[in-house]
Amino acid sequence: MSLLVLSNISKSFGPVNVLHHANMSVDAGEVVGLVGDNGAGKSTLMKIITGIYKADAGDITLDGQSILHLDPGERRAMGIEMIYQDLALAKQQDVASNIFLGREPVKSFLGIIPGMVDKRTMDRKAQEMIDRLGANLPAINRPVGTFSGGQQQTIAIARALTFDPRVVIMDEPTAALAVREVQSVLDLIRQLKKQGIAVILISHRLNDVLSVTDRIVVLRHGRTEANLTTSQTTMTKVVSAIVGGDDMEAAAAHESAG
C-alpha cells in the first residue's frame, strides 16, 4: 500500500466539474509527476490533499488512514507540505526568518519572560537545513528578495523541511527558472527522494518530469488519463495522454518542438 492514496476524487466549483474520479498515489521515496493541460485540475487536486479544498467525493489516505476529516493544519502536522508556485516567502526578511516564519525559536529568561527571538539558533538551524539539501546559498543574512529564483525555491524547500514532511507537493517549481537553476531544483528533488520523502511534482516542463520522476500521472479534463512508469515511457506517450490519444499530430508536434 502506498503512503498517500487519492481515490475517486471528484470536485465541482458551482456548475463546473473540475475533477472526476481522479486517482493517484505516491510512496515514500518516490517522485511522481502530475501533468496535464492548463485547467486539467492539477492544482485543485493538490489543494484537496492539503485540505484547502474539500472533495465532493472520494477518499484520501495516509498510511491507510483516511485524512478527509482533518483540517489543513492537522494534515500539515501529519507531514503533508505543499510549496506553492509563488513560494509565499517574505521577501524583505532574511533566509532564517523565512525558514522559521511564525515559528522562531525564542529565548526566555529564567523560563519566565518570553519574547526574544533567538537569532543565533535560528541562523544555525537555517544553515543546517540548507546543508541538508546540499545547497549552497551565499550569505544568508540578506533579504530573500535579493536571491535568484532558484535560490528562493531552495529556501522554500528548506522551509518545508523544517516541518519534517513525509509528502512534499511542488507546484511548478521550475517554471520561472534559468536552465542551471532548473538543474539545481531537480537535484533538490532527488535529495528529498533519497531522504525517503514522497514528492509530487506538478510541471509543464516534460523534460524535467521525465528526468526526475519515477512515475507520471496524467490528468485530462479532471480525469486520470494515464499512470506511466517513467523508465518505460516516452515523451510522445506522455504528450498523447495530455492532449488525448486521438490527437497524435499535436503529440508529434510537441515532441519535435522538444
Ligand X SMILES: Nc1ncnc2c1ncn2[C@@H]1O[C@H](COP(=O)(O)OP(=O)(O)OP(=O)(O)O)[C@@H](O)[C@H]1O
**Contacts with ligand X, residue ranges (CB under 6 A):** 13, 16, 18, 36, 38-44
Find how far residue 256's CA is from the centre of its chain. Answer: 29
Residue 81 or 123: the one with the smaller Cβ distance to Mg ion is 81
Size of the site for Mg ion (CB under 5 A): 1
- We find the least distance from the C-beta atom of residue 38 to ligand X, in angstroms, to be 3
β-pairing, 80-83 vs 167-171, is: parallel
> Which of residues 81 and 171 has its CB atom nearest to ligand X in the complex?
171
Residues 164-203 contacting Mg ion, CB under 5 A? none
Looking only at the bridges linking them, the beta strands covering 106-109 and 57-62 are unpaired
SS (H, E, C) 84-122: CCCCCCCCCCCHHHHHCCCCCCEEEECCCEEEEECHHHH
- Answer yes or no whether residue 153 interacts with Mg ion by CB under 5 A: no
Instruction: Report how far Cα 99 is from the mean position of its chain's Cα atoms.
Output: 16
DSSP state of 232: G
Closer to Mg ion by Cβ: residue 43 or 184: 43
Q: How far is the CB of 42 from Mg ion (least distance, A)?
A: 5
Phi/psi of residue 221, each to 5°?
45, 45
Provide, rounded to whole angstroms, the least separation between the CB of residue 76 and ligand X.
20
Closest residue by Cα to residue 51 from 75, 26, 81:
75
**What is the closest distance, in whole angstroms, from the C-beta atom of residue 13 to ligand X in the complex?**
3
75 binds, among Mg ion, ligand X, none (CB under 5 to 8 A by kind): none
Piece of the chain touching Mg ion by CB under 5 A; list 38-46, 141-149, 183-191, 248-256: 38-46
Choose which of 26, 31, 36, 43 interacts with Mg ion (CB under 5 A). Answer: 43
Q: Are 35 and 203 in contact (CB under 8 A)?
A: yes
Residues that bind Mg ion (CB under 5 A): 43
